[in-house]
Amino acid sequence: MNALHQSNLTSLKLLNRGKVRDIYDLDEQHLLIVTTDRISAFDVILPNPIPGKGRILSETALFWFKKTENILPNHIAKDISLADYLTPDELAQLDGRGMVVRKLKPLPVEAIVRGYLVGSGWKEYQQNQSVCGIALPPGLVNAQQLPEPIFTPSSKAEVGDHDINISFDEMIKLMSEDKAKKVRDYSLALYKQAAEFALERGIIIADTKFEFGEDKQGKIYLIDEALTPDSSRFWPASSYAAGSNPPSFDKQYIRDYLETLDWNKTAPGPELPTEVINKTLEKYQEAKARLTEN
């Protein structure tokens, strides 16, 4: 499959290019989200795409959107044909990476749920016996499952900036107490249902990020992406053991590689070797197969 580092759809108005997604105006009520093959790490877009990654992410997200409709609605617009809006060449360019969604107002937080003590959470726990200000029991080790999943929101950052962890009280100031409680409860319910499903297929969801939007009536929807290797930390259950980071199915493989370099984690990002690109693609492919094809 050819790599799509950046989409170029002249039939539509480009609204935004994010770390991974290009967003186009489709009509008064809908957007087209193109999930490219770009990959970011430490909030920096890397120069090398992962060929086919965008299609894998789109298909995985669509799978989860459908599977979680019992918890809350999502932004996917059904019964709309992109062939009515794009040229044949543009459709070929997307090659399964396009997703038509309803126009909604994004809520100003990233909703993160952590089921295991890892990454920045593990670093904070070692210092303060807490994660994002939430006190945890003593004696936990790296990658250990938490007694209960915890909700740790962060502010949304511009491309190139780092998201900032915020408290639940700070989240309330951004959107109201009622809305903040709904987002927290939806996030925990989504994580618990998905984690149980994934574990049956040999994958541990250590943590994940959700985004939400609302319509003009204030109804909340799941938006952006959901439970993909880009927004989650996936571990193979067969090799999991508390005390050390398991090998992962997500872009942690790239993060681990970048940690070996003399790089200050600011743009521009370093070139990725072919071996790292191919290995990352294999991990994305296996995660999708395990989750969606059984």
pLDDT at 162: 61
14, containing H or E segment: strand 13-17
* Dihedral sign of CA atoms 163, 199, 69, 33 in order: positive
CATH architecture of 106-259: 2-Layer Sandwich (3.30)
Distance of CA 161 to the CA centre of its chain: 16
- pLDDT of 12 reads 97
Instruction: Work out the pLDDT band at 247, boundaries 50, 70, 90.
Output: confident
What pLDDT score does 294 carry? 65
Residues with Cβ within 8 Å of 260's Cβ and at least 6 positions away in sequence, in order, are none
Summarised one tens digit per residue, pLDDT across range 75-85 is 999 889 899 99
Confidence of residue 248 (pLDDT cuts 50, 70, 90): confident
Model confidence at 1, pLDDT cuts 50, 70, 90, reads low
Q: Residue 124 — φ and ψ, nearest 5°?
A: -65, -40
**Domain residues of the chain, as ranges?**
13-103, 106-259
In this structure, CATH architecture of domain 13-103: 2-Layer Sandwich (3.30)
Flag whether pLDDT at 159 surpasses 60. no
β-pair partners for 223:
211
pTM exceeds cut of 0.75: yes
How do residues 258-286 score in pLDDT, each as one tens digit?
Answer: 999 999 999 999 999 999 999 999 999 99
The answer on pLDDT for 156 being more than 90 is no
Q: Which residues pair with 211 in a beta bridge?
A: 223
- H-run or E-run covering 118: none
Confidence at 13, pLDDT banded by 50, 70, 90: very high
Higher pLDDT, 256 or 140: 140
Q: Is the pLDDT of residue 201 over 70?
A: yes
Query: 290 is written with which tokens?
Result: 């395990």
Using alpha carbons, select from 37, 44, 38, 45 the residue that is nearest to residue 1.
Answer: 37
| Fold agreement (13-103, 106-259) | no
Are 71 and 133 within 8 A, CB to CB?
A: no
Q: What is the chain's mean pLDDT, rounded?
A: 94
Q: Is residue 114 within 8 Å of 39, Cβ to Cβ?
A: no
How large is the average pLDDT for residues 136-160?
89
One-letter identity of residue 230: D
Q: Where are the alpha helices (DSSP H) in 147-176?
A: 168-175
> Average of pLDDT values for 224-250?
91
| Phi, psi of 274, rounded to the nearest 5 degrees | -55, -40
**pLDDT on residue 161:** 57
Query: How many C-beta atoms surround the C-beta of residue 166 within 10 A?
Result: 19
